[in-house]
Amino acid sequence: MPSGALLFQSVLLGLLLGGLYALLASGLTLYFGIMRVVMIAHSAFLILAAYLAWYLHEQAGIDPLLSMIVTVPLFFGAGVGLQRLLLTRLRPATLTMMSVLLTFAIALLIEGLLGYAFTGTQRRINLGYGSASIEVFGARIAVVKLIAFVLAVVALSALYLLMKKTRFGWALRATIQHRDAARLLGIDTDRVAGFGFGIGLATAAIGGTALSLDTTIYPSLHWHWIGPLMAIIVVGGLGSVPGAAMAALVLGMAQSLLQIPLGTTWAQTVFYVALFATLAIRPQGFFGGRLAQRF
Amino acid sequence: MLNASRVLKISAVVLLAVAILAFPSLAPNPYILSAGVLVLNYAVLSTSWNFVGGFTGYISLGHGALAGLGAYGTGLLVAKGGLPPFLALFVGAGLVALLAVPIGFAALRVRGASFVIVSISLVLILLLVFQSWASVTGGSRGLVVPRPFDLSRPEHHRVFYYLFAALLAVALLAWWLIDRSRFGLGLKSIREDEDKAEALGTATFSYKLIVFVVSAGFTALAGGMYALWFGDLDPVFQFSILTGSYLVLMALLGGVRQLFGPVTGAIIVGVALEYFKVEYGDTPLHLVATGLLLALVVLFMPDGILPAIGDLLKRFDRTQRSSIREVTAAELREQRLTEANGAAR
Amino acid sequence: MILTLGACSSGGEETGGGDDPIVIGVSLPLTGDFSEPGKGVQQGYEAWAKIVNDKGGLLGRPVELKILDDQSNADRVVADYEQLIGKDEVDLVFGPFSTRLVVPSARVAEEYDMLFVEPAGAAKEVFEQGFKNLFYAAPAVANDHYNHLAEKILAMPADQRPKTAAYAAMDDPFAQGTAYGLKEKLEAGGVKTVVNEVYPPNTTDFSGIAAKIADSKADVLVGGSQYQDGVNLIVALQQLGYQPKLAAFSTAPTNPEFASAIGNKTEGVLSPTGYSQDAQYPSNKEFVEKYTAQFGKAPEEDQANGYTTGEVVAAAVTAVGCAEQGECQQKLVDWVRANTVDTVVGPLSWDETGKPKGAHMIQQWVGGDIKIVLPEDVKEAEFLYPKPAW
């Protein structure tokens, strides 16, 4: 039986991890909502952002958090470009399948170029505060993990406000709910879709920076992220941002707690077990609406 | 009555068969021969992939995992179960086909997107399982599969080259038979419009499931054969997402609607991979090249190379015999069908 | 990436035999999980080739290395040796790095009847495969690396001796071998195992493992690590404020970047090593001097292992008088099996499975530098216990 202290520590770690998952999964589910696209390259962009943060820190000694000034607008632009220039070229009838392949190809490109530029060697930012921690009721929270969590919470809240309180957010949600109807209402759905993609990739930039604070990175690491993220958006209901966030917190916590009895590797399977269970029992996901049913 | 394009087609097929069979005696050294075995392995795998991809239009990125399961199934049955190698091969493939039923059940109930997600997840979860379950699979230390024959290395390559060639022939035959059958017609109707096919009374779900299981069986056979040939299995390589993407690239590049499409793609991509490796060594640029090629094919040539060449030949043909119109009823039907397909898109 | 080290000179005095170089094929993990030690071995090989060529080569022929990158991938390493032996028709081969890659590549060499001396296949599995052409060019196999440390711990007075131990090892035959070798001996001596974790090579998040270890408050921490995993585990443990009385890690602490990677809190960290720059073996002085001249810093264990491999093969080639594929290889194998070779890690000889007969030294970070503390007769510093806080 694990001690209370270990359980409490694991709950905290799970919460911190779940926050990061929530941010990243919300980006992934956003793309799907807007265009029915499973964006495999999402986590590759995540790793790219982490590498940029690492590189800037290594070369210029810039704190990784400041690298976001560069990466966030850059990724937003890349997202808009990706949607407008590449995805719109695909035939609508085979869009879902072909977009998977196209984004998969982009993921390979990013992985290959990162490997070429920085080799496959594992990298890690050495921060002065890298091993610092704060004590909370006997458990320890690493400062870097806390910063990453705060970043995720701030970004998610901003996304939530954007979608609920702004005109653009309404247009975006209208586009997700019914694209044709939105167009009839005079919404420029193409523009909205492009910006939606930009926002999705911007979350990857923030997530990547958060990731770089406390993890070793290497070019093929993105495959270890895309699996859990895809599982999260299916469990949460494809296209549902709140669903993705909820599922992320639940599964992140489950992973952290399962590590105690099962060990690290087996604990990761919880995502896939949840994925298969969801598809077998409730294919539309546990938090999503009707949208997911058909995909 | 044979027309020019059919003669051309048949002679191309015969040429391909002769080239494949003659290759071992022409290979200048054992390394080239081993590269040939790899290319044939890819050809079998991508043809197996094409049972699902070509007929139903469902793109699986997880076939690498099915091949890995076949490899480990065969390897474990030989190394731990003590079965004779080739019995283990078929038992292993049978088990994988059986396992494909629940996987297909979860993956195929919903359309497109979820299928892709499941197929990728399959690779990732199996990697975790085979790495963690070290007491059975050998974990990251890998699994050593005993050699089925006591041969020198070049001879070993030669024998397996012909075994892979035989497996390829069987897979092609099966694909061809399904292509001609009512079953195949039902599958293709799913590819063109799943809703209409369902409305017209096609049992789309069981059709998809059956063809998925057949595809998994062939993939596992190829994987198992690889295990017997290669001898060392490592989860990181057997359950690699990259293998799956190579298969998709090969099939798409060659043309998913063509019997010989995946084989053509496998030869092009497989030879290119080996060539680049020898010339430029191993760099991550492989990934870049694969990614670029995949993107280009998806954007500009989603029907593949073979149809593109076919169109070219047809145009050439038409100028030759512009005034004579001589087609059989079957060909006319086929032609109309393709035209209809084109219009449907 | 193909790196070919050209022959600088081909030795004027020697006549006959021709200038036709002896080509030696190698595949190394220059990228991927094992790239750090892989590059170290590469430098060892290159230093060896340069030193040999500066003296006029082997049998009057210059030596040339043909090094391929296997990306730490077991599948690639086989294709690499297949290409080197089958297509490029190299005269000799040297082994790759990491036990995981040694077994598949040794089989290729075996089936082509090539002599296979390797710098890194230290786990006992390597010697259980029935290879007849394989020799491990280092003093001891992984499970025996901590022998001196185990003796030291168990010899402590009962009130000081640690009572509990936590083990975390990468799922890799070498890394696990070192940790489990020590575990076996400590358990037999009454030190209780409270945590025993295994993680796959691509693990990056160590917070879960660290939480368990920290919760156990084990006296002894043993990490079966390569490099980055060891660093990540230590940082995660530091974040949780865990302080062991004794911490031993394989490989990682000897890496030049180790100290800065864990925030310079290295004091007291232990690591086994088969090599010392100050060892008084005749060829070692030459090696350290010329290596330092060539690369601008002194060699570490990985470089020494690569160099030792070269020395063993060179001794066989010189004694037998041939270096090409074919019957010559069997003569080389027979010679190595029957003889003792003087190397930078001391005189080496092998049993019939290719296992070396020797032991490893124990190093410790003391005063900002890593020094040999065990066994007593070669120590450079006093064994530090308990370990200061990190």
Q: Is B270 helix (H, G, I), strand (E, B) or coil?
A: helix
Backbone angles phi, psi at C145, to 5 degrees: -60, -40
Tell me what the mean pLDDT of segment B131-151 comes to: 85
CB B63 within 8 A of CB B122: no
Q: Which of A116, A144, A216, A255 to mutate to test the interface with C (most CBs of C within 10 A)?
A: A216
Residue in B57, B113, B294 closest to A105 by CB: B294
**How distant is the Cα of C218 from the closest Cα of chain A, in angstroms?**
14
- Predicted pLDDT of residue B101: 93
Cα–Cα dist B32/B125, whole Å: 34
Tell me what the mean pLDDT of segment C72-77 comes to: 78
What token pair was written down for B7? 């003669």
pLDDT band (50, 70, 90) for residue C124: confident
Residues of chain B contacting C200 with CB distance shorter than 8 Å: 131-132, 139-140
Q: What would the DSSP string read from start to end of chain A?
A: ---HHHHHHHHHHHHHHHHHHHHHHHHHHHHHHHHS---TTHHHHHHHHHHHHHHHHHHH---GGGGHHHHHHHHHHHHHHIIIIIGGGS-GGGHHHHHHHHHHHHHHHHHHHHHHHH-S--B----TTTT-EEEETTEEEEHHHHHHHHHHHHHHHHHHHHHHHSHHHHHHHHHHH-HHHHHHTT--HHHHHHHHHHHHHHHHHHHHHHHHHHS-B-GGGHHHHHHHHHHHHHHH-TT-HHHHHHHHHHHHHHHHHHHHHH-HHHHHTHHHHHHHHHHHH-TT-SS--GGGGG-
pLDDT band (50, 70, 90) for residue C201: confident
Burial of C231 from C-beta contacts in 10 A (0-12 / 13-18 / 19+): buried
Distances (CA, A) of B335 to B194, B225, B343, C122: 22, 39, 12, 65
pLDDT digits (tens, 9 = 90+) for A212-244: 888 888 888 898 899 899 999 989 888 888 889
- Predicted pLDDT of residue A295: 41
- Predicted pLDDT of residue C301: 85
pLDDT band (50, 70, 90) for residue B321: very low
Question: What residues of B are in the A interface, CB distance below 8 Å?
Answer: 57-59, 61, 105-107, 109-114, 116-118, 120-121, 124-125, 128-129, 131-132, 241-242, 245, 248, 252, 283-292, 294-295, 298-299, 302, 345
- Predicted pLDDT of residue B340: 61
Residue in A2, A120, A224 closest to C31 by CB: A120
- Predicted pLDDT of residue C17: 46
Q: Is A39 on the interface with B (CB under 8 A)?
A: no
Per-residue DSSP letter, B150: -
**Inter-chain residue contact B283 with C69, CB threshold 8 Å:** yes
Cα–Cα dist B64/B46, whole Å: 10
Q: Is the confidence at residue C10, as pLDDT, over 50? A: no
User: Among all residues of chain C, which has the CA nearest to that of B30?
Assistant: C86
Tell me what the mean pLDDT of segment B159-187 comes to: 93
pLDDT band (50, 70, 90) for residue C7: very low
Q: Which residue has the higher pLDDT, B331 or B164?
A: B164
**Inter-chain residue contact C104 with B142, CB threshold 8 Å:** yes
Tell me what the mean pLDDT of segment B16-33 comes to: 88
**Chains adjacent to A (≥3 CB pairs closer than 8 angstroms):** B, C
Q: Which of C1, C36, C206, C215 to mutate to test the interface with A (most CBs of A within 10 A)?
A: C215
ipTM of the prediction greater than 0.90, yes or no: no
User: Among all residues of chain A, which has the CA nearest to that of B115?
Assistant: A295
Q: Is A282 on the interface with B (CB under 8 A)?
A: no
**Inter-chain residue contact C204 with A256, CB threshold 8 Å:** no
Q: Is the confidence at residue C238, as pLDDT, over 80? A: yes
User: Among all residues of chain B, which has the CA nearest to that of A104?
Assistant: B291
Q: Is the confidence at residue C4, as pLDDT, over 50? A: no
CB interface of B with C, residues 76-135, below 8 Å: 131-132, 134
Residues of chain B contacting C78 with CB distance shorter than 8 Å: 230, 232
**Other C-beta atoms within 10 Å of A155: how many?**
24
pLDDT digits (tens, 9 = 90+) for B78-94: 999 999 999 999 999 99
- Predicted pLDDT of residue A123: 85
**Chains adjacent to B (≥3 CB pairs closer than 8 angstroms):** A, C
**Inter-chain residue contact C241 with A140, CB threshold 8 Å:** yes
CB A74 within 8 A of CB A205: yes
- Predicted pLDDT of residue C307: 93
Q: Is the confidence at residue C11, as pLDDT, over 70? A: no
Write down the mean pLDDT value for chain B: 85
pLDDT band (50, 70, 90) for residue C202: confident
pLDDT band (50, 70, 90) for residue A293: very low
- Predicted pLDDT of residue A47: 94
pLDDT band (50, 70, 90) for residue A79: very high
Residues of chain C contacting B277 with CB distance shorter than 8 Å: 79
User: Among all residues of chain C, which has the CA nearest to that of A119?
Assistant: C31
Residue in C73, C198, C200 closest to B237 by CB: C73
pLDDT digits (tens, 9 = 90+) for B223-246: 999 999 998 888 888 898 888 889
Q: Is the confidence at residue A99, as pLDDT, over 70? A: yes
Backbone angles phi, psi at B304, to 5 degrees: 95, 175
pLDDT band (50, 70, 90) for residue C14: very low
Q: Is the confidence at residue B320, as pLDDT, over 60? A: no
User: Among all residues of chain A, which has the CA nearest to that of B131?
Assistant: A265
User: Among all residues of chain C, which has the CA nearest to that of B285?
Assistant: C1
Q: CB under 8 Å to A158, separation ≥6 — which residues?
A: none
Residues of chain B contacting C202 with CB distance shorter than 8 Å: 236
- Predicted pLDDT of residue C12: 36
**Inter-chain residue contact B290 with A93, CB threshold 8 Å:** no
**Inter-chain residue contact B282 with C112, CB threshold 8 Å:** no
Beta-strand relationship, C3-5 and C63-69? antiparallel
Please calculate the CA angle A21-A27-A32 and round it to the nearest 5 degrees. Answer: 120
What token pair was written down for A15? 């919460």
**Inter-chain residue contact B30 with C111, CB threshold 8 Å:** no
**How distant is the Cα of A60 from the closest Cα of chain C, in angstroms?**
17
- Predicted pLDDT of residue C358: 75
**Which of C260, C293, C269, C315 lies closest to C58, judged by CA?**
C315
Distances (CA, A) of C305 to C95, C122, C328: 11, 11, 24
- Predicted pLDDT of residue A259: 87
- Predicted pLDDT of residue B323: 40
CB interface of A with B, residues 244-273, below 8 Å: 263, 265-266, 268-269, 271-272
Write down the mean pLDDT value for chain A: 86
Q: Is the confidence at residue C315, as pLDDT, over 50? A: yes
Q: What b/e readout covers A79-95, taking b as 16+ CB neighbours within 10 angstroms? A: bbebbbebbeebeeebb
Q: Is the confidence at residue B329, as pLDDT, over 60? A: no
Cα–Cα dist C26/C85, whole Å: 10
Tell me what the mean pLDDT of segment C127-133 comes to: 87
Distances (CA, A) of C114 to C29, C46, C64, C160: 21, 21, 17, 52
- Predicted pLDDT of residue C33: 67
Residues of chain B contacting A108 with CB distance shorter than 8 Å: 242, 245, 287-288, 290-291, 294
**Inter-chain residue contact B34 with C103, CB threshold 8 Å:** no
Tell me what the mean pLDDT of segment C1-26 comes to: 56
User: Among all residues of chain C, which has the CA nearest to that of B232?
Assistant: C104
Q: Which residues pair with C246 in a beta bridge?
A: C220
Write down the mean pLDDT value for chain C: 86
User: Among all residues of chain C, which has the CA nearest to that of A216?
Assistant: C204
Of these ranges, B140-154, B166-180, B238-252, C364-378, the one predicted with the greatest mean pLDDT is B166-180
Cα–Cα dist B57/B345, whole Å: 13
**Inter-chain residue contact A121 with C35, CB threshold 8 Å:** yes
Q: Is the confidence at residue C2, as pLDDT, over 50? A: no
Share of chain C above pLDDT 90, in %: 34
CB C101 within 8 A of CB C61: no
Residue in A104, A227, A265 closest to B132 by CB: A265
Q: CB under 8 Å to B221, separation ≥6 — which residues?
A: B44, B48, B70, B89, B90, B93, B167
**Inter-chain residue contact A131 with C262, CB threshold 8 Å:** yes
- Overall pTM surpassing 0.80 (yes/no): yes
Residue in A106, A219, A223 closest to B291 by CB: A106
A241-262 and A270-281 are packed helices; what angle lies between their axes, rounded to 10 degrees?
A: 130
Q: What is the largest CA-CA distance in chain C?
A: 70
Residue in A3, A5, A216 closest to C232 by CB: A216
* Order of all β-strands in the sheet with C369-374: C192-199, C164-170, C220-224, C246-249, C270-273, C361-366, C369-374
Tell me what the mean pLDDT of segment B316-343 comes to: 55
Q: Which helix (H) or strand (E) element contains residue C79?
A: helix C74-82
Q: CB under 8 Å to C98, separation ≥6 — which residues?
A: C29, C34, C37, C38, C72, C120, C121, C172, C174
CB C284 within 8 A of CB C346: no
pLDDT digits (tens, 9 = 90+) for C330-381: 999 999 999 999 899 888 888 888 888 777 889 999 888 888 888 887 788 8
User: Among all residues of chain C, which has the CA nearest to that of A8?
Assistant: C211
What token pair was written down for A119? 């080799």
Residues of chain B contacting A238 with CB distance shorter than 8 Å: 113-114
Distances (CA, A) of C39 to A261, B173, C36, C262: 38, 49, 6, 21
User: Among all residues of chain C, which has the CA nearest to that of A125?
Assistant: C261
**How distant is the Cα of C274 from the closest Cα of chain B, in angstroms?**
23
Q: Is C167 helix (H, G, I), strand (E, B) or coil?
A: strand
Tell me what the mean pLDDT of segment A7-24 comes to: 90
Residue in C203, C263, C265 closest to A264 by CB: C203
Residues of chain B contacting A101 with CB distance shorter than 8 Å: 59, 248, 252, 294, 298
Cα–Cα dist A291/C172, whole Å: 45
Q: Which residue has the higher pLDDT, B128 or B70?
A: B70
Q: Is the confidence at residue B34, as pLDDT, over 70? A: yes
User: Among all residues of chain C, which has the CA nearest to that of A257?
Assistant: C208
Residues of chain A contacting B287 with CB distance shorter than 8 Å: 108-109, 111-112, 115
CB C225 within 8 A of CB C249: yes
Residues of chain B contacting C76 with CB distance shorter than 8 Å: 282
CB C64 within 8 A of CB C21: yes
- Predicted pLDDT of residue B123: 92
User: Among all residues of chain A, which has the CA nearest to that of C171?
Assistant: A265
**Inter-chain residue contact C72 with A120, CB threshold 8 Å:** yes
